[in-house]
Structures are given as C-alpha cells and as structure tokens.
Amino acid sequence: MISFNEKRCVGCYACQVVCKMEKGFPVGVFGITVLKGEEADENGVFRPVFRTSLCRHCTEAQCVRICPVRAITRDQHGMVVGTPEKCIGCRLCLLACPRSVPDFTGAQRVSKCNGCVERLQVGLQPRCVASCPTAALESVTRQELSEKKRRGYLEKRWERRQGTGTPSR
C-alpha cells in the first residue's frame, strides 16, 4: 500500500499529474488528490499543510463488501481494484467509502486507484510513489506501515517526555 508522510509533502502535485498520465482518467477524475490547507503551529504562526486523498486499500474495505455486482474486488497483491466493465454505477461504494474515493465522473462507472498493480507485477513502484521528489509517498507493506506508525507514536511520546530529541536506539 501507499503511505503518505504529511511532514515531507511540499505540494508539487507531481503525483496527481503522473497518476492521470498513467491511468488516462477523464477530466475530473483523480486517482490521488493533493489538498492544501493551513495550520497554526504552537506559536500561533500559520504554515501551509498538504494532505492527500487517496485509496488506502483498507483491510476492512467497505466498498468491496457493499458492491452488489462485485465490480470492486481485492486482487492478489492486496490492492482494492475496480472493474469498470462490471460496474452498474449505483454509487454505493462512494457512500460506503469514508474517503469518498470511487469516482463516477464521465463514464458513470467506477474509476479508482488500483495501486498500480500492473507496475507492481513487474517490480516497479506505483507511479505516484516513483514521481514523488521528497519521498512523502512511499510504497510499503501493511506490516511495515504499522511498524512505522508504532515507531512514530513512540518517538512522539519520547519527545514529549524529554522535551525534545529522539530516543537512542
């Protein structure tokens, strides 16, 4: 799956552009979207922040469960993949997805990120990950991601206790 590190993103939109190039999505459909906003730091100074809206290929994927015609399935790489030919355009997946990922603009059939399975098969990284200049996007396995999250959490706690600095390993 694809992990996103908010602290590294500079908002260059490269992922959004190459994803469209790779998949040939119609106008209005994005496999990954970069969102821009602002946040105040502890001194009250505002700084821009970027977040992404992309398919998380959830373990408990609601879209896979709810699709009445099995147009969204999980493939052997663990990716949640849409099959437009089977889709009836009922939009139940859109409403079931907490991130509103499946898109029906244009063809009235589902289009969504498939985690670039065709690139994974030949040993390449997903296109958005390969194009990210700051490594804000990374291709990780589920296990690596949970390990990373755990470490991040512990580091944060350590920082809070020590005032600053990282734990010695």
Partner 1 sequence: MKTIRKKEHILILGAGAAGLSAADAIRTASPDTPVTVVSGEKGRPYARMALPYYISGKIPLEGIMTREEKELARQGVTYIAGDPAAGIDIDRRRVVLRSNRKLPFDKLLIATGSVPEYPEMLAGTEAPGVSHLWTLEDARQIKRLAHEGSSVAVWGAGFVSFMAAKALAGHDRKVHLICRADRILRRVLDAEAADLVDRTLFEKDVLCLKNTNVEKVEVLKGGRKRVVLNDSSELTVDLFIIALGTKPNIAFLEGTPLAGKKGIEVDEYLETRIPGIYAAGDVAVVSDCVTGERITPALWSTAVMEGRGAGLNMAGARRRCDLALLMNVVDFGGYSAISIGHPLTKDAGAEVFQFTREEDRSYRRFVFKEDRLIGAIVVGACFDAGFFPMLIRRRVELTRDQKDALLRQPWDMASLLMSLPSLMQAKDLV
Positions in the binding site for partner 1 (CB under 8 A): 28, 33, 35-37, 49, 51, 53, 56, 58, 60-62, 65-66, 68-70, 86, 88-92, 94-105, 108
* Smallest distance from partner 1 to CB 114, Å: 18
* Smallest distance from partner 1 to CB 117, Å: 21
* Smallest distance from partner 1 to CB 83, Å: 10
Question: What's the CA gap between 132 and 2, in Å, rounded?
Answer: 12
Question: What's the CA gap between 152 and 145, in Å, rounded?
Answer: 10
* Smallest distance from partner 1 to CB 115, Å: 16
What are the b/e assignments for 10-25, b being 16+ CB within 10 Å? eeeebbbebbbebbeb
Name which of 33 and 125 has its Cβ closer to partner 1: 33
Name which of 11 and 119 has its Cβ closer to partner 1: 11
* Smallest distance from partner 1 to CB 66, Å: 5
Name which of 87 and 128 has its Cβ closer to partner 1: 87
Q: What one-character DSSP code corresponds to residue 31? A: S
Beta strands 80-82 and 137-139, pairing class? unpaired
Task: Tell me how far CA of residue 56 lies from CA of 2, 86, 148, 164, in angstroms.
Answer: 7, 22, 16, 32
Question: What's the CA gap between 10 and 111, in Å, rounded?
Answer: 27
Name which of 86 and 148 has its Cβ closer to partner 1: 86
Asked if 138 contacts 129 with a C-beta cutoff of 8 angstroms, the reply is yes
Name which of 37 and 123 has its Cβ closer to partner 1: 37
